[in-house]
Copies of this chain bind each other. A is one copy, B any other.
Amino acid sequence: MSDMSSGRPGQRVRLEDVAKLAGVSMKTVSNVVHDYPHVSVKMRERVQAAIDQLGYRPNLTARRLATGRTGMLALAIPEIDQPYFAELARRIGEEAVRRGYRVIVEQTLNDADAERAVIRDREEGLVDGVIFQPAYMDTMEIARLRPGTPLVLLGEAGRPLTADHVMIDNVAAAREAVELLLGQGRTRIAFFGMVHGDPTESTHLRLLGYQEALLAAGVRTGPELVIETDGFAIDDGVAALSAALDAGVRFDALVCRDDLFAMAALKVLDRAGLRVPGDVSVLGWDDTALARYSTPALSSISPGKEAIARMALELLEDRMAGYDGVGRHRIAPHVIIERETTGHPT
């Protein structure tokens, strides 16, 4: 319709170019760009026409410099390809977009230094806030390095409570899991997946809930029913559980630290000729795709990922809005999803 190459050819079109074309000031253009209410209709039309003609789009970077707001959030997690984190990232991404943010994903890749970098404001000036699930750093250390950027932590919270946290009640969830299994007639319930040197608090909490429930029910247990592994990989799980079986450890139910170990359990039990759930009930944790797609479909403890995402964003927006009080905790709901790997013995 008109000359697209007028003005500074080869350059991006700027607010000023639009203003010039429309014969108005930059402020007026800015007003219509921002849908500022008090702009006369014909002014708005004229400016919009210029914008369309030139194909103007604001330079986000410049806007940021001027406003001091980046509109971006960082999500720092160990590995994006671990199903749980991938699913969480999706929810957080959705929730963030809903609130007008974009998210940059930071993989710490099991590197303690990478985690520290996140906390030491590596993101400073890049993002408005950070959602961080640490694997190595504890609350103490995070408190010490306490960054200037608003921060919300995911996962377990030790003391002191200097930062906001969102988590599920691991103890209660484990307790309920054991109660469910007990209610279905299981009597020798093992906990599978204490990883040697596990830096996370979660596993301990889960084990605690498991033990509490057993104790409360007056069911006898023993240390051999807590099955330890050398690492987080599936092969570690397979090796550990096979060894336990070979050593004569017997159980009719398995509460697994996560879905991955549950998958390992399915493998080992299959090889051992044990039926699931006929001989052994298997319960996973995290309710990931692994659980939904396996055969038999895995029952799993499902942390409310949407709720976690929503709560994290709420807390973060508070902080970004200036809230500067003490660290708050939010407990997201959880639910046990029963699929095919749990049930009464047959």
Q: Which residue of B lies closest to A297 (CB)?
A: B267
- Copy tally for this chain in the complex stands at 2
* Complex contacts, A61 vs chain B, CB 8 Å: 61, 64-65, 70, 125-126
Query: Bound state CA distance, A106 and B103, in angstroms?
Result: 8
Q: In the complex, what residues of B have CB within 8 A of residue A266's CB?
A: 295
**In this complex, what residue of B is CB-closest to A68?**
B61
Interface size class of A (residues with CB under 8 A): 35 or more
Which of chain B's residues have a CB closer than 8 A to the CB of A148? Answer: 12
In the complex, A146 has a CB within 8 A of chain B: no
Q: Please name all residues of chain B whose beta carbon is closer than 8 Å to the beta carbon of A263 when the two chains form the complex.
A: 293-295
Which 8 interchain pairs have the tightest Cβ spacing? Answer: A86-B86, A81-B90, A263-B293, A59-B125, A81-B86, A104-B104, A81-B87, A61-B64
Closest to A290 in B: B293
Structural contact, A60 and B124, CB atoms closer than 8 A: yes
User: A312 in the interface, Cβ–Cβ < 8 Å?
Assistant: no
- Tell me if A121 is interfacial: C-beta within 8 Å of chain B: yes
A234 located at the interface, meaning its Cβ lies under 8 Å from any Cβ of chain B in the complex: yes
Contact of A293 among B12, B59, B260, B292 (CB under 8 A): B260
User: Is A93 an interface residue, CB under 8 A from the partner?
Assistant: yes
A90 touches which of B93, B106, B107, B270 (Cβ 8 Å): B107
Does A57 sit within 8 A of B, measured CB to CB? yes
CA distance A293 to B81 in the complex (A): 14
**Residue from A72, A148, A264, A289 having most chain B Cβ neighbours under 10 A:** A289
The verdict on A137 contacting chain B, using a C-beta distance below 8 Å, is: no
